[in-house]
Amino acid sequence: MAEPVLEIRNLEKSFGALKATDDVSLDLRSGEIHALIGPNGAGKSTLVQQIAGSLKPDSGTILFQGRDVSGLDMAARARLGMGRTFQISSLAGEFSALRNVMLAVQASAGSSFRFFRPVMRDASLIEPAREALSRVGLSDRASVPAAELSHGERRQLEIAIALAQGARAFLLDEPMAGMGPEGSQALTRFLDTLRAQAPVLLIEHDMDAVFALADRISVLVYGRIVATGTVEEIRNDPAVREAYLGEGA
Ligand SMILES: Nc1ncnc2c1ncn2[C@@H]1O[C@H](COP(=O)(O)OP(=O)(O)OP(=O)(O)O)[C@@H](O)[C@H]1O
């Protein structure tokens, strides 16, 4: 079995009397999509924020590529290769897809010494940016302004940026949000190819996407993981059906 890239051990987080994260342990292995599902308020966002480093756990450990990152802030974790795309996009809409990647690569490389060099003529930025667009299948959209890309293509562009910045694993928090059925299906096809480049911890309400993509699913209910297993195991788990999926799921 593949080595875990990300390992969460015995994580705890309370808000007053509410245990939002209750002794959560899970891992993300190389080459897999591991989906985290659960009803509204189960604690998915709280867990993602702790993994990304924007919220401090009360106790527990987070290992990334074997290294304890529990004490590191979000920027430090991102520098180690924890990629995260946000529900609110930070793309510059008027700039081309290629330029968005180049600017991000320049920013993450610490660009002050390049201050006077026009970004679009900087060969050291063009190649990695083109390579990143190719890795997400956006090569033929390189010159299109980000604002003119479809919702799903913008997600792909955000992932290209994270890859260009050295992402080794992804935390994707509801990537299908706000998409129609066609967009979701196209993004599902893309995410299916992404696992070969970097494993994905996928938080998603769209169960068609989860069942189509997940190698494993963990089910969170009231802050606790009640089951982890394959799609088949989770579909057939009586406790999961009762707690979450409901009748006829
Ligand atoms: N900063 C906070 N202060 C107090 N309570 C909070 C805070 N953040 C989250 N909670 C509570 O913790 C619980 C888990 O919330 P969280 O947003 O993590 O759930 P979720 O599974 O992401 O829900 P959704 O699917 O609706 O996004 C909820 O009861 C929520 O009200």
- Nearest alpha carbon to residue 61 among 100, 106, 99, 4: 4
Bridge partners for 221 per DSSP: 224
Return per-residue pLDDT of the chain as tens, 249 residues.
567 999 999 999 999 999 999 999 999 999 999 999 998 899 999 999 999 999 999 999 999 999 999 999 988 898 888 877 654 467 888 999 999 999 888 877 665 445 555 666 677 788 889 999 999 999 999 999 999 999 889 989 999 998 888 889 999 988 888 888 888 898 899 999 999 989 999 999 888 899 999 999 999 999 999 999 999 999 988 878 877 655 444
Whole-model pTM? 0.88
Q: In whole angstroms, give the CA distance from residue 97 to residue 67.
A: 33
Q: 13 with 58: CB under 8 angstroms?
A: yes
The answer to whether the CB of 172 falls within 8 A of the CB of 201 is yes
**Full DSSP string of 173-215:** E-TTTT--HHHHHHHHHHHHHHTTTS-EEEE-S-HHHHHHH-S
Residue having the nearest C-alpha atom to atom 7 of ligand 1: 15
Which atom of ligand 1 is closest in space to residue 205's alpha carbon? 25
All residues at 6 or more sequence positions from 137 whose CB lies less than 8 Å from its CB, including other chains? 156, 190, 193
Q: Which two tokens stand for residue 57?
A: 């756990």
Answer yes or no: is the ipTM higher than 0.90.
yes
CA separation for the pair 77, 69 (Å, rounded): 7
**pLDDT score, position 55:** 94
Best residue among 11, 19, 45 to mutate for probing ligand 1, ranked by most atoms within 8 Å of CB: 45
CA of 207 relative to ligand 1 center, distance in Å: 20
Nearest CA to ligand 1 atom 12: 20
CA distance 70 to 6: 12
Rounded to the nearest angstrom, the distance between the alpha carbon of 140 and the centre of ligand 1 is 40
Give the pLDDT score at 91: 83
> Whose CA is closest to 149, among 192, 105, 98, 185?
98
What H or E segment, with its residue span, contains residue 235? helix 231-235
Q: Which domains does the chain have, with CATH numbers?
A: 1-81+168-249 (3.40.50.300), 92-166 (no CATH)
